[in-house]
Amino acid sequence: MNPLKIEFLGTGTSQGVPIIGCDCETCQSKNLKDNRLRSSVLIKSGNSSVIIDCGPDFRQQMLRSKCQRLNAVVLTHEHMDHIAGLDDVRPFNFKTKLDMPVYCTKRVENRLKEQFSYAFSDEKYPGSPGFEIINIYSNENFKIGDQRWTPILAQHGTWPVTGFRIQDFVYLTDISGISHLESEKILGSKVLVINALRKSKHVSHFSLDEAISYAKSTKVPEVYLTHASHQLGLHEEVSDSLPEGFHLAYDGLKITIQ
Ligand SMILES: [Zn+2]
Ligand SMILES: [Zn+2]
Ligand SMILES: [Zn+2]
């Protein structure tokens, strides 16, 4: 198997960090690790380059990571901070003359057809983005290039959200709960990315304590926390407080999984 090269394109919650107009300590921090674009991750292996989620910062993220090629977009759920950047796949459409494969559940597909109706209409105006929707199901693995993907069904408040295992890498964002059965898909992996919104509880996201306690239960040795809000606190202070094997992810962080 080819090693997986992971790049965190964004590690922030829906408003990003800093938040417009906020003068809190985190939003005012001079540490670049406290600047968080909306959550997304780039996964490269062999000839495949795939992103999970395509939020409003997608264009900036592709430019910053100097991404020349993108084989597919995989979506966790339909919230705007995870889909709003899809119009900006156009440069890839123009370059390859192909529609962009978008892997998502039927529920997410329905939302995309509302949000980006112009891209799905019979009379597309010139220059519209092109999407090739490929439906995914929680009990069916799928392949993208040389990567084998396993969907993991979780809860995001009252909504469903899909996490993914690719080889020994697991990415779970925007979750507030997950069944024992779905958790079994994580067993034996080497790296887990999981959302930790803030220190206090939230109705649809794991808090820091909940994320740590869940991640410990999976026994995955290396854990990276993502989808952080400004309320989580300063990168340096939070990082220092974490148990062994836990890291607070930051934008631009790269890891390789053999
Ligand atoms: Zn989100
Ligand atoms: Zn703030
Ligand atoms: Zn969400």
Confidence of residue 124 (pLDDT cuts 50, 70, 90): confident
State pTM to two decimals: 0.97
pLDDT digits (tens, 9 = 90+) for 49-70: 999 999 999 999 999 999 999 9
> Mean of the pLDDT values across residues 23-46?
97
Q: Which ligand is nearest to the CA of 159?
A: 3
Task: Tell me how far apart the alpha carbons of residues 77 and 212 are, in angstroms, rounded to a whole number.
Answer: 23
pLDDT of 125 reads 79
Report the percentage of the chain scoring pLDDT > 90.
95
pLDDT digits (tens, 9 = 90+) for 172-183: 999 999 999 999
Mean pLDDT, the chain, whole residue set: 96
Q: Which ligand is nearest to the CA of 35?
A: 2
Q: 78 CA distance to ligand 1 centroid (A)?
A: 9
Inform me whether the pLDDT recorded for 47 exceeds 90.
no
The separation between CA 135 and the C-alpha centre of its own chain, rounded to angstroms, equals 18
pLDDT digits (tens, 9 = 90+) for 216-239: 999 999 999 999 999 999 999 999
Q: Which tokens hold the place of 90?
A: 């156009």
Q: 229 CA distance to ligand 2 centroid (A)?
A: 8
Please report where in the chains the tokens 């959550």 appear, as a residue. 39
Q: Which ligand is nearest to the CA of 21?
A: 2
Q: 27 CA distance to ligand 3 centroid (A)?
A: 21
Number of structural domains (the chain) is 1
pLDDT of 1 reads 77
Q: Cβ(52)–Cβ(58) under 8 Å?
A: no
| CATH at 16 | 3.60.15.10
Domain housing 93: 4-257
Q: Which tokens hold the place of 67?
A: 């991404």
How many other CB atoms are there within 10 angstroms of residue 118's CB atom? 12
pLDDT of 85 reads 98
Q: Is the peptide bond prior to 18 cis by the omega test (within 30 degrees of 0)?
A: yes
> Mean of the pLDDT values across residues 134-151?
95
Q: Which ligand is nearest to the CA of 79?
A: 3
Q: Which ligand is nearest to the CA of 228?
A: 1
